[in-house]
Amino acid sequence: MFGKDLLVRMLDRRDALPPDEIALIEALPVRPVTFGPDEEIVREGSRPAESCLVANGFAVRNQAIREGKRQITAIHVPGDFVDLHSLLLKVMDHSVSALGSCDVVFIRHKDLLTAMGGSPHLTRMLWLSTTIDASIQRTWITCLGRRSAKQHLAHIICELYVRLEIVGLASDQTFAIPLTQAEMGDVLGLSVVHVL
């Protein structure tokens, strides 16, 4: 199902999806693409006509800053839509890049809108997903501004564990994620030498 099974699992964990909504998700046409490490999946300034769902691997949302540096503003796990908000936000204000090898599927906005038009509950569930993303963003901002690097790192580890557990990729307090020390610096807003 190209990652749609993970989306179903994630949404169903938040509120039971009836069989007809699961069928709507499973019927969505997808365009699968594999990206290599650090390859750009969605470019800042682009005008997407489709949204991207992580099927396998990890992706990061980031914004470029001076001197070729970047700030990672989100880590996306399998089952996440990385840019569902592009249904409404017509010009991307950030980029999304692969973190290691990453398999994604692109779903055309018109197909998403058709599925949502047939199911107000599914629409609410997808928008709930974007509001949860926004909540995570607010917590990351608080971490950057008011928590120590150790507290911020501890929060991110706990957050990722919970999110990966939902889609069956973490258990017994363990999970794997291909974050380098430099990438962790881009998450925490620290230079590489100050990360660990």
Distance CA 193, CA 52 (A): 33
| pLDDT range class, residue 2, cuts 50, 70, 90 | low
pLDDT at 71: 85
Q: Residues 127-179: pLDDT tens digits?
A: 999 999 999 999 988 988 888 888 888 898 899 999 999 888 999 999 988 88
- Check residue 1 and give its pLDDT: 45
pLDDT in tens, 48-101: 999 999 999 999 999 888 777 788 889 999 999 999 999 988 899 999 999 999
Query: CB–CB of 29/54 below 8 Å?
Result: no
| pTM as predicted | 0.89
Sketch out the chain's domains with CATH numbers: 4-188 (2.60.120.10)
